Chains A and B, each alone.
Chain A
Amino acid sequence: MIAIIIALVITLRFVVLPSSLTDTRFHRESTVEREVAKKVAFAGATVCGTCHVDQMTKKSKGYHKTVSCETCHGAASSHIENPAQKPTAPRGREFCVFCHAYDQSRPTGFPQINPVVHNPLKPCTTCHNPHDPVPSQAPRECSACHAQIANIKSASPHALIGCTSCHTVPAQHKISPRSAVPTKPETREFCAKCHAQGAAQKDAPKIDFSSHGERFLCWDCHYPHLPERTVKR
C-alpha cells in the first residue's frame, strides 16, 4: 500500500506535473526584482557636485579627493529627495580619528595623530579644513611624521647623525610626502665612508669591506636606524 502511494506521488511529481510549474526561474526572477527594488541610501559621489560646486572643486584638489562626500556626511539620498533633510556634518573630535588616530596596523605614511596629545579638546576643524586638509604648518622635523624611526634612532649609535646625512629630502616632500620621496643610500660605498678601514670617522666601528659580506648590501643585515652595538664601546 505504502509503496503504491510513494509510486503515485513520484509519478505525480515527475511525470504528470510539467517541469515548467516547478521552474526555478520564477522565484529567482522575483528575488532579483525585490532586490533591485530596495531603497538606495547612499547617493554616490558625483551627485553632490551638481549643487555643492564650491566644496566639490575644493575637495577635488586636496588630499581628500578620493574621500567620497558620504564618507563623512553619511547617507544622503534622502537629502536629494527632500533638500530640507540635512545630512550630518561631523564637527567634533570624534569623527576624524576614525581614520587619523594612530594605529600600528595602519599603513606607513598615512597621516595619523595621537588624539590624546594632539591639541586636546580643540575640534579638528579649527585648524584643518576637511574639504582641503593640509597640516596647519609644514612640519619642521622629520620626527613629526616619522616618529617611530626617530624614537628608534635616538637610542641607537646613530643618534647623533641627522636624517639628512643619509637621505636627501626634496622640499616638496613636506607638502606632498608620497609624490616626492627622499633618497636612500644605494651602495656599500655609502656606509664605507665611515665604516671602512682608514675612514676619517674615528669612533665608527671599522670593518674590511673587501672581506665582510661582499655579496650583500649593508642594510640586508644591519638596520641603519638601529645598528647593533659592537662589544667594544
Chain B
Amino acid sequence: MAAGILRVVCYLNQFFGQLGGEDKAGVGPQVVDGAVGAARAVQQALGDAGTVVATVICGDNYAAEQAERATAELVTLVAAARPDLLVAGPAFLAGRYGVACGALCAAVQRELKIPAVTGMHAENPGVELYRRQVYVVQTGAEATRMLPEVQRLVALGLTLARHEAVGTPAAHGYFARGVTRNVVADAPAADRAVAMLLDKLAGRTFVTEVPRPAFPPVAAPRLLKTLEGATIALVTDGGLVPRGNPDGIEALNATRYGAYSIEGKSSLDAAQYDNPHRGYDTTWVKQDPHRLVPVDVARELEQSGAIGKLHETVYSTVGVATTLAQSARMGREIAEKLRAAGVDAVILTST
C-alpha cells in the first residue's frame, strides 16, 4: 500500500453490517474483509485518503448484555487488522449501538493507542457516557443522510489519524469533551467583557465563555433523632492538622484528608496543631484552632447533655483549588466512615 494511505477499520452493528434485523441482535463479534454495509459510505468519504481494510460487526444484544466480553473480543479483531483509525457507527439514536461504539472507541484508544471516532444523536446515551474520552460527532436521529454524516466523522477521523490539531467542537461538529485548553482570542478580555455587557443590556443574544456548572442540588437530610440523643461529628475543609501534618495533606489541590482523634480532649492545644491551607489567612486558626474546629464548645454541649455524644474523630482536609472529582470522592469516603461509626449529624466548618 502506498505511503500516506491510511488503513481504516469500521465498526457496525448487525443491522448496518447487513447481517439482519433484531433477529440477529444476538450474534457475536465477527470480521469481514473490506467495507460492507454502512462501511461503504466510509470508504466513499475517505476517497483516496484511506482504505477500509476490514469491517467488524457485532449484534446489539450481544454487545449490551455481555459488554466487557464483547469489547475485549472486538478489540482483538480490530488489532488484527492493524488499522491507523477506527470509525465506529454512526449510531444515530440507537442506544445499544451507541454505547457499544463509545466503549469500543475508548478501549481501542486506550489499549491499542489507535485514534477512534464515532457519531451519534445528542440524545443517544452513548454521548453522555463517552464524550469525555472519545470524539463523538453529532448526527441526526436516523440514517436518512448517511453520506454527509459519515463525511464529517471521516474528516475528524483523518485529522486524528494524521495527528493534526483538532479544532473546536463547533468547527468539527463533535460533542464537547469537557476539557479546557488555553487559546489566544481575537480581542483582549476587557473588550470582550464590555461587548458582552452591551449585548446583554440591549437584550441581544450573547455567548458566555464559561458554561454554568452542573452542581447537583443536595438537599440537607432531616435529623431523625433529637439532638439530645444524636452523635455529632466535626468535619472541616479548613486545613487543621496535627503538628507535622502526618498525612501530608497538600496546601492546595488536595487529594488527601486526615482522621484525627480527639478522644480524652476537652479542647485543642494550639501548640499541637498546624495548618497548611494556602487559600486563606490561617493566622487566627493557628492561634486558636477552635475558631475552625470548635471542640471546646462541642464538649460543653456534650457535658450539659445538649447533644448526645461528640464523635471522637475529626476529619480534615484542605479545600482550595481542589478538583470536583477529588472533593466528591473524599466527601463520599468521609460520609461512609461517619455513617459506619453511627454518626447522626455533622458540623461542617469551611473557610
State yes or no: do A and B come from one complex.
no
Query: Footprint of A on B, CB under 8 Å?
Result: none
